[in-house]
Amino acid sequence: MTRYPLPIFVQRFFTERLTNQLAASANTVASYRDTFRLLLTFATSRLGRQPTDLLVTDIDADLVGRFLDFVESSRGNSARSRNTRLAAIRSFFKYVAINEPELLHHCQQVLALPSKRHEKRMIEYLEREQIEALLAAPDLSTWYGRRDRALLHLCVQTGLRVSELIDLCCGDVVLGTGAHVRCRGKGRKDRSTPLRADTAAILGAWLDEHADTADRPLFVSNRNSRLSRDAVERIVRKYAALAAECCPTLKGKHVTPHCLRHTAAMVLLQNGVGCTVIALWLGHESVETTKSISTPTSS
């Protein structure tokens, strides 16, 4: 009887499937890694064998179901996080099913596990007066303020993901006729997003002050290194708090980089841009994702 060692398939899944074939982002790889770390620890405790001794067939639908219950009840994960764990496991078993037809039925049973229904989060986005207050908050007499004004304008107008924003280099900003910014999104897909005249002017001023070579990071820290995800989130929170002093409707509002991404989508929608175009603008793989943003339940 053929044995299917789990370590071999997990290694191939991460190196061949995620990295080489799908060109998954670092965030996706990290999320999947964390899921399998938890799953292997859970399987080891339940089956009494080390991860290196496990077989693919040991990870069956019953064990995966109990694992999902465990991450909810014992680890306090939300239904949304539970579904994220399940998505990673499904992706693995889809890979196994394609490469090992003998395990097709086993994989099918795992893939049949349903996602858990959950309440959708209320979509946060900023209204026009809130946008104006946020963009006016940086102190332009300082280097940090000028950097942050350019960053906020780019976030609000283009809706770039944080990962896309921090990866930008000075050469990715193209000014003049047809001004746009080039970025690499999910799945290593390149796209160009148009820039409004006001955003292009602010970025142009920032480049005049900051750029020396095309490959220099567009936004850097005081150590002259690329901004981190956490740094961008802190910048957005900082100016949201400052803006709330003159715009009371911002008080209590959860303003994050992703909220600014939603804001960009809503501004486009309110200006008559269709969901298909907005999906291309934001780099969504599915128009359905865009539609879920474009039908908000709260402002």
The tens digit of pLDDT for each residue in 205-241 reads: 999 999 888 999 999 998 889 999 899 999 999 999 9
Name the 3-class secondary structure at 87: helix
Active site residues: 161, 186, 258, 261
| Cα angle value 81/84/89 (rounded, 5°) | 130
pLDDT value at residue 187: 61
The neighbour count for residue 225, using CB atoms within 10 Å, is 10
CA distance 252 to 248: 9
Contact 183, 169 (CB under 8 A): no
The gap from C-alpha 221 to its chain's centroid, in whole angstroms, comes to 21
All domains of the chain in start order, with CATH: 6-111 (1.10.150), 128-294 (1.10.443.10)
Residue-averaged pLDDT of the chain: 89
Predicted TM-score (pTM) of this structure = 0.68
Which residues, including other chains, have CB under 8 Å from residue 282's CB and lie 6 or more apart?
A: 159, 261, 264, 265, 290
The gap from C-alpha 101 to its chain's centroid, in whole angstroms, comes to 33
Which residues, including other chains, have CB under 8 Å from residue 18's CB and lie 6 or more apart?
A: 24, 28, 29, 32
- The dihedral through the CA atoms of 43, 48, 50, 56 has a sign that is negative
Torsion angles phi and psi, residue 295, rounded to 5: -125, 65
Q: Is 128 left (phi over 0), alpha (psi -120 to 50) or beta?
A: alpha
The tens digit of pLDDT for each residue in 100-122 reads: 999 999 999 999 999 988 666 66
Ranges of residues in the chain with a pLDDT under 70 are 1, 118-122, 186-188, 284-299
Contact 134, 140 (CB under 8 A): no
